[in-house]
Structure 1
Amino acid sequence: MAIEPPDELIELQRASDAAHEAVRQNPTDETWAAWRDRAGEVQAAVTVYATEVGEPRNQVEAAVKKAARYPEPPAGA
């Protein structure tokens, strides 16, 4: 059964990815701190969700990253 993460987790991952890109563009203490904060939020939310749905945490994390980074095209597109 494929894991379909909720939109909230996908958006958290996208925010973390954006914060990571900010570090790549401008590696300051502030951008590093922002990325650590966003990444921590994603990790905590993935852990909670995986526990709630009874799926392995690493598989949930992979599904979230895939959905955030490689979204499916809309139906009929």
Structure 2
Amino acid sequence: MSAISIPQHLVDLQRAADAAQDAVRQHHRANGPVLDWDADTRAEGNRLQDGWRERAAELQAAIEEHGQEPGQGYEYRQALRKAARG
């Protein structure tokens, strides 16, 4: 199999999606069980979750636009995650 080439803009989008996901995780860790959240905490959680969804959708759209070889979906995503971890 040939080496998978990952463009820098996809690496940047992967990092943004990872950061957004981490923000959601940190919010959950800091605020405990969701059922105990007040309205402000819930609104912040929803805002962070929406941000994560947006970053993930941007990443997916960019991956689809860039294209990949058929049958390389898993390998491509693994290479992208590895490149984003740097």
TM-score bracket for this pair, using the shorter chain length: 0.7 to 0.9
C-alpha RMSD over aligned residues: 1.5
* CA distance in structure 1 between the aligned counterparts of 2:3 and 2:82, rounded to whole angstroms: 12
Structure 1: 5+ residue runs without aligned partners? 72-77
Q: State how 1:24-39 maps to structure 2 within 5 Å.
A: 24-27=25-28, 28-39=45-56
Structure 2 SS opposite 1:26: helix
Higher RCO (CA-CA < 8 Å; seq separation 6+): 2
Query: Per residue, is there more helix in 1 or in 2?
Result: 2
Partner of 2:76: 60
Q: Give the deviation of 1:61 after TM superposition.
A: 1.8
- Aligned residue pairs total 68
Q: Give the deviation of 1:58 after TM superposition.
A: 2.9
Q: Give the deviation of 1:9 after TM superposition.
A: 0.2
Q: Give the deviation of 1:65 after TM superposition.
A: 1.0
Structure 2: 5+ residue runs without aligned partners? 29-44
Residues 27-65 of structure 1, C-alpha deviations (whole Å, 9 max, x = no match): 4000000000001111111122124xx353332222111
Q: Give the TM-score of the pair, scaled to structure 1.
A: 0.77
Letter in 1 for 2:16: A
Find runs of 4+ consecutive structure 1 residues off by over 4 angstroms.
Answer: none
Q: Does the CA contact (< 8 Å) of 1:20 and 1:35 recur in 2? A: yes
Compare CA radii of gyration and give the structure with the larger one: 2
